[in-house]
Amino acid sequence: MSATSYSFEESTTFSVVHARHMAAKVATDLLRLQRFYGKPTNSSIDAYEAELIALLKEDYLHAVTYGFKRNGKWVVALRYHSVAGGSLVADDDPGKLRPGVDVSNCSFGSFLEHNANWSNLSATVKHNFYKTLPFQRSDGTEPGVEAGYWIDDRTYSAGGRAISRSVIKRY
């Protein structure tokens, strides 16, 4: 009796096309927030999407959060963080956000955390990278959660990388 065995190796190079694929899903989520709560604006969504594409392409993203804050705490927010080993995870459809949270007296904002790849760059490289983005961020402290906790609910992947979406689960 003879046995036959097969093996193959696949290599994927992450490209701007993969980054656009994942960022488009985030933009779709932001459009859903806009539909439910009136913000962010279309131009803000375009700018956030362009920033995310650049961060994903260069692998500088640790996490980014978009949402509504009141008294320095997230009330409604979406957090996306990089996932190691993205080729092994599903590529979910965007959406499934719940409306109906009171966002009166809230402001819309975003908070970005870079990863170790970013930390290893020179100040000149960081400066030149930021000049390519649609807006400039300032330093700050990430807000806490007003009444709840983060729970992972979606994963967006392409080209061997992934980002996981978390939403605030209310108490």
CATH number, position 76: 3.30.900.10
Domain count, the chain: 1
pLDDT under 70: residue ranges of the chain: 1-12, 85-88
* Residues with Cβ within 8 Å of residue 11, at least 6 apart in sequence: none
Is 44 inside any structural domain? yes
What pLDDT, on a 0 to 100 scale, did the predictor assign at position 171?
Answer: 84
Beta-bridge partners for 167:
78, 151
**What is the pLDDT, as a whole number, of residue 85?**
65
Q: Look up residue 125 and give its two tokens.
A: 């490289």
β-strand partners of 157: 162
pLDDT of the residue at 13: 83
In a domain, 6, yes or no: no
Parent domain of 128 = 16-170
DSSP reduced 3-state for 67: strand
The confidence score (pLDDT) of residue 3 equals 65
Whole-model pTM: value is 0.90
Query: Would you say residue 10 lies in a domain?
Result: no
Does 4 map to a domain? no
Residue 120 lies in a domain: yes
Coil, strand or helix at 123? helix
Contacts of 133 by beta carbon, 8 Å cutoff, 6+ apart: 50, 51, 54
7 is a domain residue: no
3 state DSSP class of 170: strand
Query: How far is residue 99's CA from residue 107's CA, in Å, rounded to a whole number?
Result: 17
Mind listing the pLDDT tens digit for each residue in 35-51? Answer: 999 999 999 999 999 99
Can you give the pLDDT at residue 87?
58
Query: Does residue 131 lie in a domain region?
Result: yes
In a domain, 151, yes or no: yes
Neighbours of 131 (CB within 10 A): 8
* pLDDT of 8: 45
